[in-house]
Structures are given as C-alpha cells and as structure tokens.
Structure 1
Amino acid sequence: MKDVAAEAGVGVMTVSRVVNGDPGVAPGTAARVEIAIRKLGYQRDDVARQLRRADQLSQTIGLMVDHVSDPFMAAIASAAEDVARQHGSVVLIGSTRDDLRREREVVAAFTARRVDGLILAPVAGSHRFLRPVLAQGTKLVCVDRAAPGLDVDTVVVDNFDAVHNAVRHLVAHGHRRIGYLGDKQEIRSVDERYRAYLAALAEAGIDADPAIVRHGLRSGPDAAAAVTGILSAPEPPTAMFASNDIVAIGVLAVLPAHIAFVSFDDFTLAERLTPAVTVIAQDPVAIGTTAAHLLFARLHGDSSPPRTIVMPTELITRGSGEIPGPYAHGR
C-alpha cells in the first residue's frame, strides 16, 4: 500500500479509502490511485485485515450441499451466491457427499478461513460438533433439512404433505401397487417422504409391500437397477414414486410407458418426455435466496429467535402421474 501511495503521490490513508470504496475521495485522486494499483499489481490482503481487526467480517460465507452436481443443490448454491454478491461477500462451496465425517472436515476448513456464516444442507447424524462453532459467533442457516439438536434458522418444504398428496393422486387414478424408490432413508427429508408414502397407502387401505420398495439409491444407475428388479417381481407395481430428481432420471431410463410415475423435484426436460413427467416441484432458487437473506440478516444484527420457514411445493400434473391403473373408475 505504501508503494501504491508513492506511485500515485498520495498518502497511505488515501489509498486505503480508495481500496475500501470510500466515495469521499476526489475522482481525480481516486483515478491516480487506481492506475497505480493496476501498474503495481496491488491486491488487498483480506487475511491481514482480519488479523488487524478481529471484529471485522471476512465477507465470505461457506455453503455445504450434498453434491454440487445435483441440479437442485446447484440452484440453491447459485441463488445464495447472488444474494452474497449483493452484500459484497463471496461464497465458498463444498460437497458433503452425505458423509458426516466429510461434513465435519468441510466445516473445519471453512471456519479456519474465518467465514462469517454457514449455509448447510445437513447430513444424517448428530450435529453437536457445531455448537462450539455457533458459540464463537459463526452464524448458521440449515437448508432443505433441519439439523436435530441445533436451534438455528432453517428453510425447508413440507415433504410429508407433498408426498402424501402425490401418492393419494396415484391412488385416485386407480393404482394400488405403487413402488417407492428413495435416497438414503437416514436423510431426514427422505425419511419424511417415505413416511408420507406409507401414510397415504394406509389411508387408502393398501398394505405396503417391501418387495416394491428400494432405499439408498444414490445415482441414476442405482435407480435403474432397482426398477429392473422390482418389475421382475411376481406382482410388479402399476405406478412408481421417486424421492428426488436424480433417482427419477434413472427410473425413466428403464420404466415402461404404461406404468404411472411421479417424481419429487422437477428437472430439465421433464415436460418434454412422452408422457411428460408429473412432479412435485419445489423452488430451489427461492429456497437458496431465503436461506441467504436469513444468514445476512443474522450477520447484520438480527437477534430474533431462530425460525423455520416452510416453502411451498406444487404437484404439476403432466401425464405420467395420470396414467390410469387397474382400479380406475370405469375399468
């Protein structure tokens, strides 16, 4: 900074004011400083600034999702990044791969870099390890799922109600053999979806059949193999439900066109397939935006009690979920 000041013919304090965006610096002076900065390749050292002022925000936040390649999680991350940019902050993004040990490692890496706050899609398991992080002043917002045992802001959807309505929809179209294809049941949101599936069947007087249920599907190929196995059963289902978009894409690769299908999460080209795919749509952009706004409100002094915000979902009927089953009216 001293070199920049000497090059521009100003004091070090003037350079500091220009670097920090102070509008009070005369335009001509600011221009000379900017020219000197470019000539000398000067870049502000944020780590040094934090060491100098421990009470100063680092203007970085950490965001942890299951996997950044998941379109749903990627949309959440992109939305959060847009909000962070409005606040002059950057986002460090990490994937937990739904592994608690990896989650701890990523949290440790982010907090070592003194991020101001965290947005986290919690994996299954205890999150007591985050209590010291919160006690040190790091702000936390959970997204997509709650973290049991932590009293923090959380942004979710009503998974139970959404799936309950979707399964009832399949029943209303004449289906009593409805297969379930799900991600890891240990994930809280996934467990809520499975419990809703069971509740809707019970409400309709249908006994759940473990032979047409699969859990722990983590990829498209996993889901495709599960469908192939289920359809080879003596009494295959006439309808299928997938717990997320990644599972759905694998299902659709092998699912016969006469079997009804509903997916949790919308996905690219779902409306262009034949038949078009009926989905439970949630808005990841709204979820990510809401979570980021909550986090920055906390960083800027909001001390109100933690709250859970439940975002809406919508059952979009496009055709696949309306294929009639053997018990449809008039058949």
Structure 2
Amino acid sequence: MRHVAALAGVGLKTVSRVVNDEPGVSEATKLRVLKATEQLNYQVDLAAGSLKRAGRKTMSIGLLLPSVANPFSGDIHRAIEDALAARGIAVFAASLDDDSAREKALVAAFLGRRVDGLVLTPVAKSQAYVIPEHSRDLPIVFIDREPVGLEADAVVTDNAAGSANAAAHLMSHGHTRLAYLGDRPDIQTARERRRGFIEEIGRAGISTSTIPVREGLHDEELARLATHELLAAKNPPTAIFSSQNLVTFGAMRALKELGASNRIALVGFDDFTLADMMEPGITVVAQHPERIGKLAAERILARIDGDPTAPKTYVVPSELIPRGSGELRPPA
C-alpha cells in the first residue's frame, strides 16, 4: 500500500479508502490510485484486512461436499457460489469423499483460515467437535444431511418420502418383485431412502423380507455388479430402485449389458443430464440442488448478518419424473 500511495502521490489512508470502496475520495484521485494498483499489480490482502475489520470478517466461507465431481454436489456448489458472489464473498470448496476423518481435518483447515462460516454435508457420526467454534458465533449451515450432536440450520431433501413415492410408482405399474440398490448404510441419506422405500412396500401388503437389498454401492462398478447378481437369481426382481445417481449409472450399464433395459423397470434417486435421452428415458426422483444451494446460501448469509432465531431444518421436496423406465410393466 505504501508503494501504491507513493506512486499515486496520496496518503496511505486514501489508498485504503479506494481499495475498500469507501466514500470521501474524489473521482480523479480514485482513478489515480486505481491506475497505480494496476501498474504495481497490487492485490488486497483480505486475511490481513480482517484483522482490522469489524468482526474480523474475511469475506469467505468454507463449503464441504461429498464430492465436487458428483453432479448433485456440483449444482449445489454453483448455486451457493452465485448467491454469495453478490455479496463479494468467496466460496472455498472441498470434497469429503464421505470420510469422517477428512471431514474433521478440512473443517479444522477452513477454521484456520478464519472463514466467516461453514456450509457442510456431514459425514462423521457426530458434529459435536464443532461446538466450541459454533458457540463463539461461527455460522454453520448443514446441507443434504442433518447434523448429530449439534443444533444448527440444515437444508435437506425429503429422502424417505421421495423413496416411498418411487416404490408406490413401481407398484402402481404392477410390480411386486422389487429390489433396492443403496449407498453406504452409515450415510444418513442412504438410510432414509432405504427406510422410505421398504416401509412403502410394507404398507402395500408385500412382505418386506422378500425384497433384495444391496448396499455399500458407492460407485458405478459396484452397482453394475450388484445388478448382474440380482438378475441372475432364480426369481429375479422385475423392478429396481437405485438410491443415488452413481448407483443408477451402474444399474443402467448392467441392464444394457443384459439386454434388459426395456424389460426391467428402473427408478433412480437423483436426476442427471441426458436422463431423458436414454432408451427408455430414466424415471427419477429428482432432488432440486439449485434450491438447496440457494436456501443454504440465504441461511448462511442470515447467520453471518446476526440472525438470532433458533436453528431449523428446511426440507426441499423431491419430484418424481416419469420418463419410461419406471413405467415398464412386469412380464405377464
């Protein structure tokens, strides 16, 4: 800043006012200072500025997602980034890979960088380790999964209800032999989706003990192999529910390999690009990641601005979108 001040022929205070967009500087002086910052390639040090700024704000938040490579996480990331950009707040994102140790390490890393808040998809069995920071008014909003051991705002999908709708949809098209392909059972959303699916089948009077459940399918290849196994059974299912998009991709690949895409009904949880271009189109229970991200951004901004209201869980409804695969009827 001293170099900028010397080049522009002004005092340090004037440079500070210009780079922080404060009033009290003439337009001519402002232009002179800005020209000097360009010539010297000067960048504002937000971390250093936060030491003097009221409330020690760094104008940044940490965003921790299961995997930024997953389309669902990517859509949430974009929605939050768009909303916070209007306030000049940077979003630093990281992938948790559903690893509880990685969650705690990344939270510590972000806190070490003095972020103004955290938006987090929890993986660890408890988030009580964040209580000391949260009690010192660190804003935290949880997305996709509710926290355990800590009271804070959460924005989630109606996982159980959405999965129940998938089961009801398949049964309404005549299916009584249904199968469930799920993610890791230690993940909250996976447990809720299984619960909603199985309970809806039970309510319809079908014995849930007859429903094949394959879990721990955290990637496409495991889901592909599980689908092959299901359909090789003596009395194979006529309909499959896959509980997240990577599992759906594996099921789709297996059905194609077996020539069963037009014979075995499929409903997937999570929409994805080109789902309507498949043959048949893939029926899905669509989440709305853009709404989840936008609402999470609104909540973290409200908390940063000092909203004192009690923590609340916000539920964003899912939507069943029929496209063909979930409407296939069982063989006569």
* TM-score when normalising by structure 1: 0.96
Structure 1 residue aligned with 2:330:
325
* One-letter amino acid of the structure 2 residue matched with residue 98 of structure 1: D
> Which of 293, 301, 306 is 1:296 aligned to?
301
Name the counterpart of 1:205. Answer: 205
Q: 1:245-264 counterparts in 2 under 5 A?
A: 245-255=245-255, 256-257=260-261, 258-264=263-269
In 2, distance between residues paired with 1:133 and 1:96?
20
Runs of 4+ in 1 over 4 A off after TM superposition: none
Please say if 1:310 is aligned against 2:315: yes
- Pairing of 1:226-245 with structure 2 (within 5 A): 226-245=226-245
Q: Deviations over 1:182-228 (max 9, x none)?
A: 11111111101101111011112212347721101111111101101
Residues 210 and 53 (structure 1), Cα distance of their counterparts in 2 relative to 1, 3 Å cut:
farther
Percent identity over paired residues? 45
Alignment of 1:3-22 (within 5 A): 3-22=3-22
Point out the more displaced range, 15-24 or 44-53.
44-53
Among 281, 291, 294, the residue aligned to 1:286: 291
Give the Å deviation of 1:52: 3.5
Give 1:304 deviation, angstroms.
0.8
Using the alignment, how far apart are the partners of 1:165 and 1:149 within structure 2?
Answer: 30
Write out aligned runs for 1:269-284 (5 A). Answer: 269-284=274-289
Cα distance in 1 for residues equivalent to 2:209 and 2:95:
34
Tell which deviates more after alignment, 71-80 or 157-166: 157-166
- Of 21-30 and 129-138, more deviation after overlay is shown by 21-30
* Cα displacement string for residues 25-73 of structure 1 (whole angstroms, at most 9, x for unaligned residues): 2211111001111111222222222233472211010000111101001
**Relative to structure 1, is the Cα distance of residues 280 and 249 closer, same or farther in structure 2, using a 3 angstrom cutoff?**
same
Which region of structure 1 is more displaced relative to structure 2, 292-301 or 128-137?
128-137
* 3-state SS, counterpart of residue 250 of structure 2: helix
What is the identity, as a one-letter code, of the residue corresponding to 1:8? A
Q: Counterpart of 1:318 in structure 2: which amino acid?
A: R
The equivalences for 1:1-331 within 5 A come to 1-53=1-53, 55-209=55-209, 212-255=212-255, 256-257=260-261, 258-326=263-331, 331=332
Amino acid across the alignment from 1:58 = T
Across the two proteins, how many residue pairs are aligned to each other? Answer: 327
- Deviation string, structure 1 residues 97-134 (Cα, Å, up to 9, x no partner): 11110000000000000000000111141111111120
1:254 to partner: Cα distance: 1.3
The 1-side partners of 2:25 and 2:229 are apart by: 71
Aligned alpha-carbon RMSD (Å): 1.3
Question: How much does 1:21 deviate?
Answer: 1.1
Matched to 1:18, the amino acid is: V
1:129-173 CA distance string (max 9 Å, x none): 111120232110000110122111110121111111110111111
AA aligned to 1:274 is E
Inter-CA distance 211–205: structure 2 relative to 1 (3 Å threshold): closer
The whole-number CA distance in structure 2 between the counterparts of 1:150 and 1:19 is 39
CA contact (8 A) 2:103 2:124 kept: no
Q: Which runs of 5+ in 1 are unaligned?
A: none
The 3-state SS of whatever aligns with 1:171 is helix
8 Å CA contact retained: 1:124, 1:188: no
Asked if structure 1 preserves the Cα contact closer than 8 Å seen for 2:164 and 2:200, the reply is yes
Q: Tell me if structure 2 keeps the 8 A contact 1:158–1:312.
A: yes
Offset at residue 92 of structure 1 (A): 0.8
CA apart distance, 1:309 = 1.0
* Distance (Å, rounded) in 2 between the aligned partners of 1:318 and 1:124: 36
